[in-house]
Structure 1
């Protein structure tokens, strides 16, 4: 499955993954408007082996199949702390 990733210019570390390039019709206006403008950043093949930096690729694939989009929000402070601790332990 292919995904097209767009970055919010208004909200840091916030991305929308689309099943079809430039097809924002699947994204509700209530989600899209606070994030606009959005800029294209990446086209990626979401194979079962694919690892993404901050989200589970399987969750992205499921959302794209069901809704046509996936919203990636910034990590919470607890998630950032857990990642730092894990990095120091590894």
Structure 2
């Protein structure tokens, strides 16, 4: 992806080192999966010990950070799709 004059800085910063839409989608899906992982599942499923061993996060701080990051990547992708597109 190359920066154009009309591209906002927040869009450029989201995908400055990613050149294809496929790469951007991989980044977004990785963020979404990590966001789901950061939900403190051990606090929700207290009677299952394996959940506490698999999901070691005990508070909502990581989720609170990952949710807006995932949203930022998604709206940046939508902006690029509508305005400039991806280089082939």
TM-score range, shorter chain: under 0.3
**TM-score, normalised by the number of residues in structure 2:** 0.25
Higher strand share: 1
Q: Which has the larger radius of gyration?
A: 2
**TM-score, normalised by the number of residues in structure 1:** 0.25
Higher helix share: 2
